[in-house]
Amino acid sequence: MVVAAAVTIGAVATGYMIYSGEQQKEQQKKQLKMQEQANKDAQQRAKEAKDRADVATNKANQKTTNVSALQSKEEQAASVGGGGTMLTGNQGVASDQLNLGGNTLLGG
């Protein structure tokens, strides 16, 4: 009888240890999943914070147009005269060649 009771107690103890081990394994899996999700959330929040910081930096360092420099550049180009192209050279086209009133097919 004592032997049977000892075997029964041993079997119950072994069964409980197996059950307890499985419960711990499941709990560890749950905790691992929760930790992975927390890591993903933290990475997403860090990316969003970086994006917000980039937007704020870009807003603070906006480039502005230098209108006076553009205007003076255009005025200097206009004072030189007509521009040249690869077809006309750097002197441009003579103004007497632009007159359509002569004996040309276009002018009469």
Which DSSP helix (H) or strand (E) runs through 70? helix 67-80
Radius of gyration of the chain (CA): 44
Q: Residue 92: CB partners within 8 Å, gap ≥ 6?
A: 81, 82, 83, 84
| pLDDT value for 46 | 96
Q: Which of 43, 26, 9 is nearest to 1 (CA)?
A: 9
| pLDDT value for 104 | 57
Q: How far apart are CA 56 and CA 63, in angstroms?
A: 14
Q: How far apart are CA 69 and CA 8, in angstroms?
A: 98
Residues 74 and 80: beta-carbon distance below 8 Å: no
Residue whose tokens read 């006309």: 88
Let me know how many helices (H) and strands (E) the chain has, helices first: 2, 0
The tens place of each residue's pLDDT in the chain, 108 residues long, gives: 777 777 788 888 888 888 888 999 999 999 999 999 999 999 999 999 999 999 999 988 888 888 888 888 887 776 665 566 667 666 767 777 776 666 656 554
